[in-house]
Amino acid sequence: LTQRLAKAVKTMRGEARLTESNTAEMLREVRLALLEADVALPAVREFIGRVKEKAMGEDVIGALSPGQALVGVVQRELAAIMGADLGPEASQLNFATQPPAIILMAGLQGAGKTTTVGKLAKYLREQKKKKVLTVSADVYRPAAIGQLKTVTEQVGADFFPSEITDKPVDIALAALDYAKRHYHDVLIIDTAGRLGIDEAMMQEISAIHAAVKPIETLFVVDAMLGQDAINTAKAFSDALPLTGIVLTKLDGDSRGGAALSVRHITGKPIKFAGVAEKLDGLEAFDPVRMADRILGMGDILALVEEARKGVDMDAAAGLAQKIKVGGKFDLNDFKSQLAQMKKMGGMSNLMDKLPAQLQQAASGANMGMADKQVVRMEGIINSMTPQERAKPDLIKASRKRRIATGAGVQVQEVNRMLAQFDQMQSMMKKLKGGNMMKMMRGMKG
Ligand code: GDP
Ligand code: MG
């Protein structure tokens, strides 16, 4: 996919303005990227519409090609939809109420509600210095109440016991009464989920909501849920006035398209991300990082950013294309690559930007060379004839001597350069075709 994007970027060069026709191909790729990330179709449509609207007629400033300009719009708009334009306060919990501030947890069974209660209790106690009480209104599985008791005790918060014979609304009210009398700052109410959306479950949680009027009603959703996230989010959003979202299991390998679906349906901020089973696995939600993850091109975007500094995007995309189709890689390519590297601020700077597997392959090929060396290598290649560059096998002893003299270096240095080129070439072979795609996929998570 990233390859396809790079190609789309390439075919869009040389125009000064974003138009319907020069963005169509690129937008198709973005659409595919979102569907691949399991974003639900209505959310994809809305997003593409929004990007079109923002991008049309936008001037392509300075050195930017239309492709780069559009990537910029896509990235910016996706981050905005993820919540970047809501400001940092949007991900904060609201405590502006007479204590205790009540947090009601909603979501399907297995979404991670009980675990998240534990994580929130830990965060609120340790970071916010709050006195926290938890209670379980999940009276359908005896183990559920025990699970909440365990996680609550693990993080050193207070636990209000309930019985499976109690009614959920009564449990919530009793816990609220207890919290008031014991001066708790926060009461977190864990609830029962079902495996699917279920009218009785919705009525039950609505009744709890009406009885205790929580200041925060958090919809907990599993990032691995994929396309289904949109239906689940709609059901909960219709039944309850949600105030925020917790996206769990982001440590899994899903691209997290659920985030966009849920934002599309609820319009509510994603406040937290669950990133581990452990009770410290809770993070403030980062809209920009999420946007990059969904597009699956975090590191590539960093490269595009570098490229803005003056590198010929066309050449870079052309090289990527060559690697992909497994085309030959000759000294001309090597030379243009060396030139690109210089423009991007040198080898080491560029290496940092590559995904881990590529970095490994590159260092295996002894590519961590000093920038000074790059200049000398260019000099050597410059002293070769076009035929020699296209067919390095031609370069035998007498040619080597001529090249060395021309470049003002020793013959050994020509040998060393050719060896390095060999390694580079075999690295390129390793990266070609599906292998390259796999590596690119590897960087998505
Ligand atoms: P509930 O039914 O909504 O209360 O869900 P639970 O809190 O019981 O979580 C269901 C399963 O998901 C448990 O095995 C949790 O350990 C796991 N889980 C919850 N949140 C996360 C997370 O952020 N990352 C990972 N890897 N696992 C999680
Ligand atoms: Mg539970």
DSSP string, 6-58: HHHHHHTTT-SB--HHHHHHHHHHHHHHHHHTT--HHHHHHHHHHHHHHHTT-
27 half-sphere exposure, CB direction, 13 A CA radius: 21
Give me the pLDDT at residue 299, please: 43
C-alpha of residue 193 to centroid of ligand 2, in Å:
7
Atom of ligand 1 nearest to the CA of 109: 2
Give me the pLDDT at residue 11, please: 53
Query: Is it true that domain 300-442 has CATH number 1.20.1050.140?
Result: no
C-alpha of residue 147 to centroid of ligand 2, in Å:
8
Q: Token pair of 306, please? A: 């570098």
Sketch the domain layout of the chain as residue ranges.
Answer: 2-82, 88-292, 300-442
For a ligand 1 pocket test, name from 108, 115, 140, 201 the mutation site with the most ligand atoms within 8 angstroms of its C-beta: 115
Matching CATH topology for 88-292 and 300-442? Answer: no
Query: Is it true that domain 88-292 has CATH number 1.10.3720.10?
Result: no
The pLDDT profile of the chain, 445 residues, written as one tens digit per residue, is: 455 555 555 555 556 677 777 778 778 878 888 888 899 999 999 999 999 988 887 766 654 566 667 877 888 899 999 999 888 888 899 999 999 999 999 999 999 999 999 999 999 999 999 999 999 999 998 899 999 999 999 999 999 999 999 999 999 999 999 999 999 999 999 999 888 788 999 999 999 999 999 999 999 999 998 888 999 999 999 999 999 999 999 998 888 899 999 999 999 999 999 999 999 999 999 998 898 888 875 444 544 554 444 445 455 555 555 554 545 678 887 777 777 666 655 555 555 555 444 455 455 444 445 666 777 888 899 888 888 888 888 898 899 999 998 888 889 889 988 887 887 777 666 654 434 444 433 333 2
Q: What is the dihedral of CA 413, 419, 420, 425, to 10 degrees?
A: 150
Query: What are the pocket residues of ligand 1 if the criterion is a CB atom closer than 6 Å to any ligand atom?
Result: 107, 109-115, 193, 248-249, 251, 274-277, 281
C-alpha span between 350 and 301 (Å, rounded): 13
- Give phi and psi for 364, each to the nearest 5: -60, -35
Contact by Cβ (8 Å): 285, 260? no
C-alpha of residue 281 to centroid of ligand 2, in Å:
17
C-alpha span between 254 and 37 (Å, rounded): 7
ipTM of the modeled complex? 0.99
Q: Token pair of 70, please? A: 């559009």
Token pair 């243009």 in the structure block, residue: 336
C-alpha of residue 144 to centroid of ligand 1, in Å:
12
Task: List binding-site positions.
Answer: 107-114, 190-194, 248-251
C-alpha span between 37 and 294 (Å, rounded): 6
Q: What is the pTM of this model?
A: 0.69
* Strand spans (E) along 174-300: 186-190, 216-222, 244-248, 270-274, 282-284
Q: What CATH number does the domain located at 2-82 have? A: 1.20.120.140
For a ligand 1 pocket test, name from 277, 279, 280 the mutation site with the most ligand atoms within 8 angstroms of its C-beta: 277
| Cα dist from 110 to 196, 221, 223, 417, whole Å | 11, 9, 12, 57
Token pair 């669950």 in the structure block, residue: 274
